[in-house]
Structure 1
Amino acid sequence: MTPMARTFLTSAALTALVLPTAIQAQSIGYGNVGDGPGADAPSDAPDTGRPARSGRNGRGGGGKQVAVIPYVEVNQIVNAELSPGDEVLTYTQVAAGVDASISGRNNALAASVRYEHHFGWGKRAGDGDTISGLVNGYTTVARGLTVEGGALATRASGDRGGVGFGSRGFDDNGSTKIYSVYAGPSFATRAGDVALSANYRAGYTKVDQDNDVDFDGEDFGIGSFDVFDESVVQIADVSAMLAPGTALPVGLGAAGSFYQEDVSNLDQRVRDMQARGIVTVPVNRNLQVTGALGYENVEISSRDAVRGPNGAPLVRNGRYVTDDSAPRQIAYDVDGLIWDVGVMWRPSRRTSLTAHVGRRYGSTSFNGTLTYAPNDRSALNVMVYDNVAGFGGQVTRLLDGLPEDFEAVRDPISGELRGCASTLSGNGCLSGALGSIRSATFRARGVAASYTLKMGGLDAGIGAGYDRRKFIAARGTILASANGVVDQNYWLAAFLSGRIDPQSGWATNGYAQWLKSNDLALDNITNVGASASYYRLLTARLRATAAVGIDGTLQPEPLDDIWTASALVGMRYSF
């Protein structure tokens, strides 16, 4: 097991032990998401840009519910290349994992963590191990004070991301592994009629790529080595809000936020500070109009790579070596007034809409969320976002915003996390944040939508979205050629499962992903795939499983498309 994998397992285990918790809706951006479907947020909830944990509002009903299911598996897998070759590889997979859900009035946990080792048969099938998991939650330390945390581990296909999309390769050759962990406190209280809140998050993200290229000579281009390594993220915000109808007919508030991400690649740094005043005007019982005016300062900077005698950059372990003695170069520097106007509409406890338009980052900015849960069995969630960050910042925001109750959707053959988790409390999709793993920082704008249905033994969901990243890099550095490059990620993920009888059931899932870039060094790629599985309980704890899947990578001419079919038979024992 790699050191990074051991680090993730330790972090995930500590999170699960220290933070009995659950998971909340993905929110990438700025604007009040509000509580999940079914929650009834107070009208004076501050617009902090952070989703509220519904469990803190007592939705657990005071009764504690605990479900912890550890398991072990032994599976036999056949992986057959259909195009352009015809190679057939066989693996024996040994896995151990745990699925957990704990919910109560003061704390909650949702977790799915899995370790696998693959033994390859023959010279061409290599051995490998994989950690995959999703953990998130909070625990109440004192009245109004909670500590939240979470972790993610998954594997992407290729050097452009894809959160487990693409062919099901089982050895470590060419794999890209993503690890992330975050934690921090949240505090909310009142001083008379004024609602006060403060939040802080610290996150760490690491991309472990099987690429040990070293050279001092020819420059092969930015596309070869502009792969994210690791970053540390800090996010903080504070607000004070006076609700309409207390001291004045309108609501008044003030809020401030701080974001900083330090990326190891070429010592890149993103810093975003803002302060704003907020006015809330009630239109009727269900509708409020908001306006905000403030000041923001955003700066992105980096250093250059170490250069050889011929001016070519030095590369170690597949990434550029930072010249720590080089002066810091400014890539992006915007400061001045910011503003937005928006609406907050909550016609019932099952429907919530927020929408904002304004000026940030020197141009027009849109963001908002829609949650609609017509009943306790289905939910629709839509989110529009706009922010400046690095890859690690997007993943930290993703973890901090995941729903507090979810079931991981895993590929039945590889065991990897798929595009969306199954949840009725928010947008549990991972694909938007994990679409591109360049090291350069960027402005991200996009939309993500998901619909989930649980009815009897049927569990269904679909998610779709679009993520556009325009990269920002300093002139005069090795990353200069990435400045202005636009990567676009269109994605679709769906799952459907059900029971045949009390002893057996089935599951299917499918995905499609379109990766486009105006970088001439990269090709536009389409990834598609689907899988189906059947299980039957042989005893109360022993389960037999059979599964089949197909995956394709569609590439522009003259490159050949890649198609792979896979099959699995195995046994799982749950403790």
Structure 2
Amino acid sequence: MAALSPRMMAGAGLLAATLAAQPAAARTDISPYIEVQQVLSFDLSNDDALGDDVVTYTSVAAGLDAAISTRRIEVGASYRYERRIGWGDSIADDDIHSGLVRANVAVTRGLSLEAGALAARARAEIGGDGLGSLTGDNPNSTQVYTIYAGPTLSTHAGPLEIGAGYRASYTHVEDNNVINTNPAQAPVDYVDHSTYHQATASVGISPGEMLPFGWIVSGGYEREDAAQLDQRYEGYYGRVDVTVPVTPTLALVGGVGYEQIEISQRDVLLDAGGNPVLDNNGRFQGDPNSPRLLAYDVDEIIWDVGLLWRPSARLELSARVGHRYDTTIYNGYLTYQTSPNSSLQAAVYNEISSFGRQTANTLSGLPTDFTIGRNGFGQFNGCAFADDGSGCFDTGFQSLNAANFRSRGGSIAWSGGRGPWSYGVGAGYQNRRYLAPATGANFSLDGVEDEAFTLQANVGHQLSPVSSLDGNLYASWFNSGIPGEADVFSSGGSATYSMSFYNGLSAQASAGLFANDVDGEDTEWLGTVLLGLSYGF
């Protein structure tokens, strides 16, 4: 991939158009940069660690960090493009895109347009290596792109509060030929690309406006069309919610409604032995003569009850229990401004999702003012931190199965800074129970459960006006429910020392140690050293 793909060109165009739209007098912080780095990675698990298992390459990178806040425009961006040039035959030349863009433009009073883009790396083969440091030659990683945009309306008609929104998103996973290459494992399907549409509308009245309680009537429609097997998700819902204040800081909340969800796809194209016919990229192919097969179909009354506690402007807690997806569900969130310079967010969720919808919803849930975590080698580590909403993608990036799934889990993120210190910690857990129809294939993901847990931590210290020291730690566990598939644990850390010289020139030295443990195999240890120069414009 020697050039930007059409998806990233669209994301770059979004960023360029938004930057160009700002007034000349706007308060902005735009920091483009270029870098040249020399990277050395060596396998510490090998007896001859400084011999054949040494990988060295030159990295040439260009990036942009931007934060824009005006009366009508808000933009947050952190994007990096890296070209890796291998020495000899130790590593193939490669391109790496990583980063986030989030933008919000106030079109008129009450009407805004928001958009976002994501570029990151995800694990490809389920039982393969973890992502590790994302340096060197990691054949079990592939590029993920997501972009979304849509308008949001928030207005009033007397005491009535009226809201509406629409979002369209597109998610693409690049080809990766390592998938479905293990003959001892039954093949499973992997994500290719999907489009996702969401439309919502609501009308309601706040407590105390006309009645002692508040109410809201809302409805929504979702549809995702995935390339793999012509997969389709379609959902409708409508509900009424009430909020009953009990004290000035505590309210009881509850709602009831109706929901219909249907997930369907084509059958798998099989060979004479009943095995899926794979394309050149290891993905399944659909049978063009197949009728649509149901993977999930629910048509039911939904409800939930709970509480909302807001003892101060700094703390808010919501917790609910109810019935949805034909089972009992639990949802909740906590936001706490722990100090003027730090915040804590936590959430528990229960939903029907897919790789594409989950990635797009995490992206759209981020604010425009964020800081993304990068390890000492410049790679996005999967988490974005902000005072008013953080999010991590890395739990979902542990598996690229194309099937929809029942997703249950939670996340927590704490970030902030004080004086010369800055920090961010994020952790997430996810349990997926896959939803798939009965097909002619020898193996189905239906009912299979996997689990993923991830942890990210970053800390930085400004040693002097011209020097800083930063550290990064991560750990991830992935337990596959596929019979015979290996569980994977990976962890590591890095440290980076940076020094600025003059006129935007700076130097960087990084060192990292990473471990990858696949069940049934010896633990692999990788050491990486980086020396580089950067110039900021």
TM-score by length of 2: 0.93
Moved more, 237-246 or 508-517: 237-246
The answer for the alignment partner of 1:120 in structure 2 is 86
The answer for the alignment partner of 2:277 in structure 1 is 314
1:336 maps to 2:300: yes
Match of 2:413 among 450, 472, 497: 450
Of Structure 1 and Structure 2, the greater strand share is in 2
Distance 2:70 2:332 in 1: 29
1:144 maps to 2:110: yes
Distance 2:485 2:19 in 1: 43
Cα-to-partner distance string for 1:409-429 (whole Å, 9 max, x where unaligned): 21222x210132342222232
> Is the 8 Å Cα contact of residues 474 and 483 (structure 1) preserved in structure 2?
yes
Residues 199/163 of structure 1: CA separation in 2 closer, same or farther (3 Å cut): farther
The answer for the alignment partner of 2:120 in structure 1 is 154
Distance 1:66 1:173 in 2: 39
The answer for the alignment partner of 2:232 in structure 1 is 269
Residues 159/278 of structure 1: CA separation in 2 closer, same or farther (3 Å cut): same
- 1:487 corresponds to which letter in structure 2? D
> Is the 8 Å Cα contact of residues 129 and 140 (structure 2) preserved in structure 1?
no
The answer for the alignment partner of 1:80 in structure 2 is 42
Question: Cα offset for 1:282?
Answer: 1.2
> Is the 8 Å Cα contact of residues 72 and 572 (structure 1) preserved in structure 2?
yes
1:101 maps to 2:67: yes
**Cα RMSD (Å) of the superposition?**
2.3
- 2:32 corresponds to which letter in structure 1? P
The answer for the alignment partner of 1:396 in structure 2 is 360
Q: Quick one: higher RCO (CA 8 Å, sep 6+), 1 or 2? A: 1
1:360 maps to 2:324: yes
- 1:122 corresponds to which letter in structure 2? G
Match of 1:291 among 218, 240, 254: 254
The answer for the alignment partner of 1:375 in structure 2 is 339
Question: Cα offset for 1:186?
Answer: 0.4
Distance 1:524 1:435 in 2: 11
- 1:562 corresponds to which letter in structure 2? E
- 2:366 corresponds to which letter in structure 1? L
SS of residue matched to 1:434: helix
SS of residue matched to 2:434: strand
Cα-to-partner distance string for 1:93-118 (whole Å, 9 max, x where unaligned): 10111111101232201111111111
The answer for the alignment partner of 1:27 in structure 2 is none
Question: Cα offset for 1:65?
Answer: 2.7
Match of 2:464 among 501, 525, 528: 501
Residues 90/535 of structure 1: CA separation in 2 closer, same or farther (3 Å cut): same
Match of 1:554 among 517, 530, 534: 517
Moved more, 170-179 or 238-247: 170-179
Distance 1:144 1:472 in 2: 39
Residues 351/214 of structure 1: CA separation in 2 closer, same or farther (3 Å cut): closer
Match of 2:444 among 474, 478, 481: 481
> Is the 8 Å Cα contact of residues 222 and 482 (structure 1) preserved in structure 2?
no
Question: Cα offset for 1:227?
Answer: 1.4
Distance 2:356 2:414 in 1: 27
- 1:320 corresponds to which letter in structure 2? F
Moved more, 345-354 or 389-398: 345-354
Question: Cα offset for 1:378?
Answer: 0.9
> Is the 8 Å Cα contact of residues 494 and 513 (structure 2) preserved in structure 1?
yes
Give 5+ residue unaligned stretches, structure 2: none
Q: Following superposition of structure 1 onto structure 2, how do residues 453-464 of structure 1 map, counting pairs within 5 Å?
A: 453-464=416-427
> Is the 8 Å Cα contact of residues 331 and 473 (structure 1) preserved in structure 2?
yes
> Is the 8 Å Cα contact of residues 177 and 208 (structure 1) preserved in structure 2?
yes
The answer for the alignment partner of 1:12 in structure 2 is 11
> Is the 8 Å Cα contact of residues 511 and 528 (structure 2) preserved in structure 1?
yes
> Is the 8 Å Cα contact of residues 79 and 99 (structure 2) preserved in structure 1?
yes
Question: Cα offset for 1:81?
Answer: 0.7
Give 5+ residue unaligned stretches, structure 1: 22-62
Match of 1:255 among 198, 218, 238: 218
Q: Give the number of equivalent residue pairs.
A: 528
> Is the 8 Å Cα contact of residues 161 and 434 (structure 1) preserved in structure 2?
no
